[in-house]
Chains A and B, each alone.
Chain A
Amino acid sequence: MADVVNIYVPSDTTARSVGADAVADAVSRAAAERGVAATLVRNGSRGLYWLEPMLEVVVGGVRHAYGPITVGDVRSLFEANFLTGGAHEKALGPTEKIAYLAQQSRLTFARVGIADPLSLEDYRAQRGYRGLEAALELSGQAIVDAVKESGLRGRGGAGFPTGIKWQTVLDAAGGQKYVVCNADEGDSGTFADRMLMESDPFVLIEGMTIAGLAVGATRGYVYLRAEYPLAIETMRSAIDRAQRAGFLGDDVRGSGRAFQLEVREAAGAYICGEETSLLESLEGKRGMVRYRPPLPAVKGLFGAPTIVNNVTTLASVPVIFEKGPEFYRDYGSGRSRGTLTVQLAGNIKRGGLVEVGFGLSLRRLLEDFGGGTFSGRPIRAVQAGGPLGAYVHPSQFDTALDYEAFAAIGAMIGHGGLVVFDDTVDMAQQARFAMEFCAIESCGKCTPCRIGAVRGVEVIDKILNGMDEKANLELLEDLCGTMVDGSLCALGGMAPFPVLSVLNHFPEDLRAR
């Protein structure tokens, strides 16, 4: 009898959204019909999304990929003996040699897409939980020092040094402290958090556990958006398994230290990605932004000192302890250390997840990785950093991916999403949408955001309708200034950035029609 072989068919949301479940069924049926002894493994996705559904088989100890596969391709794959690496028009060769993947530095996403996301055995076989084992030997202060030394900065968007935030929580007086993971990934063009939670949930659990040990927090929450049903299910299931294996609970790995973790489902409010609003929501209230100070690190969840970090920030912590802070810090450029998970999205030929050290130019990402637009037309604009990020003009594409370099051109890296638009885009509509979105999602606490966004839409409509164009353009700019300077949080404070970028770089579109 032949050896049983594994056939990997991805199971993350995007792979499924383009038919991975139907392909998996077809593969199972075809294998059974042919009497092939094969095990179907539903791994996470590698994030080469334009190739999904991307099947993999192991040939001579090396993973080989085929994609994108439709149900109609399955028969011919078997006929081509793909289980032994047979030639086929959809053959991509050894997975790790695909240029898109080979040119990345996958640290945080090292395990993503390789194995069954919910197999704790696979996670440990791939060096999982080594970071926690190392951290369990250290004092809280030593853990915080290592994070500081790694240079890790918050990946949610603000880029605040993680170690300094943790130090504040460690130093804060108080009995109960909390670790909160912000998994309310609401920015359009971003999916790194979702991918990580669906494809390697244990790394987030491990990172949060280390955070808990660092500051003496015994309880953690993952605030996860309701728009991600599969991520919710995967995280809950992974937490349950970690708990049963003694990696969570009252006595983490026999250390005598407790860390309890729970997923809390959000309910579709973009503002709850703002950390103080998120904390209000976790407390069971309307997600109204809080004034600060006090910072959440001092007075956060239920008034207690709280670490609030993004998914990819917390998931970057285990590798720092597994391989050492200097290993992590050696990636990157300037004050932006380590790697960034860029997400290529929108009208892009090769959309997907690209984890690279900071410092690569935007052009290399869009052209070398992305391959230009999906439509084949020229790129006209790229919105970087989500709905509150500027539209970057092609003349700025040589900017290096680096927090400071982006800030210098009035743009932001944010959570690493790049949304590409071709030359059919109407930039006036994009500017209008920025204001419309802000109006829909405003929590309503401060006037510049609540009223300003509504007025913003009206003023843009007046301009497009040819009503006092010049005066209204001035008014729009003035309104943007008021919102930027006067809003309580980043929603109202940054929603004008895409609008201003249109005014500055695409003024020809913001005219009477």
Chain B
Amino acid sequence: MSESAEEQQATAARKIASAHVGTPGGLLPVLHEIQDRFGFISDSAVGAVAAELNVSRAEVHGVLTFYHLFRRSPPGKRTIYLCRAEACQAMGARELERHVKDKLAIDFHETTQDRRFSLEPIYCLGNCACSPAIMIDNAVHGRVTTSRFDELLNDG
């Protein structure tokens, strides 16, 4: 990330945080807003949020790293969330997981070299009657076989 991009995120983070100074328990909404805008939360944003909300950087860092869905580094163009939970396991999620990792040649929490896809595990999308499920960005797909997964990749 270039220096100006760092600064850009810090400026935006400061603005977002200052709008939430009066929000009770506002740290999560602030972090969500930053991530929705930039796809991740940079070190510069952590400092800016801490300063604005008058808490320590450690506190912001602690919250940020507690939750699985906050990112500290830029994601690929699209993020694939693969459900690993039991209902999906009952319908072949373990095989699907192997296929997806092979196909993308990455493991969980990684991004493909061409930066087209990031892969994250997820524990339940609430789509358990039509398992196995994956979510690509905000769209949930059900009954995902290995061939259906390949089609979905090509669609994107």
B125 / chain A contacts, CB cutoff of 8 Å: 13, 227-228
Interface-forming stretch among B1-9, B99-107, B136-144? B136-144
* Cα distance A270–B124 in the bound complex, in angstroms: 10
A419–B90 touching, CB < 8 Å: yes
Contacts of A227 in B (CB 8 A): 69, 81, 122, 124-126, 135
A residues near B140, Cβ cutoff 8 Å? 13-14, 16-17
Decide if B16 is an interface residue (CB 8 Å cutoff): no
Given known pairs A188-B123, A268-B122, A269-B66, the reply for A351 and B26 (CB within 8 Å) is no
Q: Does A284 contact B (CB under 8 A)?
A: yes
Residues of chain A within 8 A (CB-CB) of B156 are: none
Q: How far is the CA of A17 from the CA of B130 in the complex (A)?
A: 8
- Tell me if A302 counts as interface (CB < 8 A to partner B): yes
Binds B, one of A82-90, A189-197, A457-465: A189-197
Q: Kindly supply a per-residue 1/0 record for chain A positions 256-289, scoring 1 wherever the CB is within 8 Å of any chain B CB and 0 otherwise.
A: 0000000011111110000000000111111100
Report Cα–Cα, A193/B126, bound state, in Å. 9
Q: Would you list which residues of chain A between 303 and 345 have a CB under 8 Å from chain B?
A: 343-345
Q: Is the CB of B131 within 8 A of A345?
A: yes
Pick from B26, B123, B129, B139: contact of A270, CB below 8 A: B123
Contact call A191/B128, Cβ cutoff below 8 A: yes
B85 touches A387 (CB 8 A): yes
**Residue among B29, B70, B94, B127 making CB contact with A264, cutoff 8 Å:** B29
Q: How far is the CA of A187 from the CA of B88 in the complex (A)?
A: 12
In the assembled complex, the Cα of A441 lies from the Cα of B123 at a distance in Å of 10
B133 at the interface (CB under 8 A from A): yes
- In terms of DSSP, what is the predominant structure of the interface of chain A? mixed
CB–CB A18/B130 < 8 A: yes
CB within 8 Å for A50 and B90 given contacts A284-B25, A387-B85: no
Is A26's beta carbon under 8 Å from chain B? Answer: no
Nearest chain B residue, comparing its CB with the CB of A21: B139
- CB of B129 within 8 A of CB of A228, answer no
Q: Does A480 contact B (CB under 8 A)?
A: no
Q: How far is the CA of A264 from the CA of B127 in the complex (A)?
A: 21
Q: A239 CB to closest chain B CB, in angstroms?
A: 15
Q: Are B63 and A286 in contact (CB under 8 A)?
A: yes
Contact A269 to B68, CB < 8 A, known contacts A49-B129, A286-B63? yes
How far apart sit A190 and B129, CA to CA, in the bound complex (Å)? 9
CB-CB contacts below 8 Å: B43-90 with A: 62-63, 66-70, 81, 85-90
A18-36 CB mask vs B (1 if < 8 Å, else 0) is 1000000000000000000
A188/B128 in contact, CB under 8 A: yes
Pair B63/A285 contact, Cβ less than 8 Å: yes
Q: Which residues of B contact A351 (CB under 8 A)?
A: 128-130
Say yes or no for B96: interface residue by CB 8 A criterion. no
Closest chain A residue, CB of each to CB of B139: A16
Q: Are A265 and B32 in contact (CB under 8 A)?
A: yes
Q: Which residues of A contact B143 (CB under 8 A)?
A: 17-18
**Within the complex, what minimum Cβ distance (angstroms) separates A322 from chain B?**
27
CB distance from A182 to the nearest CB of B (A): 14
**Quick check: is A226 within 8 A (CB to CB) of the other chain?**
yes
Q: A430: CB under 8 A from chain B?
A: yes
Q: Using Cβ atoms and an 8 Å threshold, which residues of chain B touch A267? A: 28, 31-32, 67-70
Q: Is A467 an interface residue (CB 8 A)?
A: no
Cβ-based interface call for B27 (8 A): yes
CB distance from B30 to the nearest CB of A (A): 8
Would A287 and B66 count as touching, CB distance under 8 A?
yes
In the complex, B22 has a CB within 8 A of chain A: no
Q: Are A344 and B90 in contact (CB under 8 A)?
A: no
In the assembled complex, the CB of B51 is this many whole angstroms from the nearest CB of chain A, namely 16
- A80: Cβ under 8 A from any B Cβ: no
B-chain residues with CB within 8 Å of residue A425 when the two chains form the complex: 90
Residues of A within 8 A of B26 (CB): 284
A417 touches B28 (CB 8 A): no
Contacts of A268 in B (CB 8 A): 67-70, 122
Chain B 12-47 against A: per-residue CB contact (8 Å), 1 yes, 0 no? 000000000000111111011000000000000000
Given contact pairs A189-B87, A269-B67, A264 touches B28 in the complex (Cβ within 8 A): yes
A374: Cβ under 8 A from any B Cβ: yes
Q: Is the CB of B129 within 8 A of A50?
A: yes
Q: Is A421 an interface residue (CB 8 A)?
A: yes
How many whole Å from B57's CB to the nearest CB in chain A? 15
In the bound complex, CA of A374 to CA of B140 (Å): 20
List residues of chain B with CB within 8 A of the CB of A346.
86-91, 128, 131
Q: Given A188-B128, A227-B122, A351-B129, A433–B89 Cβ distance below 8 Å?
A: yes
Given contacts A283-B25, A417-B128, contact A189 B142 (CB under 8 A): no
Evaluate contact between B86 and A430: CB separation under 8 angstroms.
Answer: yes
B residues near A265, Cβ cutoff 8 Å: 28-29, 32
Those 3 A-B pairs whose CB atoms lie nearest each other, nearest first: A351-B129, A188-B85, A268-B69
Could you list 23 examples of A-B contacts with CB < 8 Å?
Answer: A13-B126, A14-B127, A14-B130, A17-B143, A18-B130, A49-B130, A191-B128, A191-B129, A193-B126, A195-B126, A226-B69, A227-B81, A227-B126, A264-B25, A268-B68, A282-B28, A343-B128, A346-B91, A351-B128, A353-B129, A422-B90, A433-B86, A440-B123
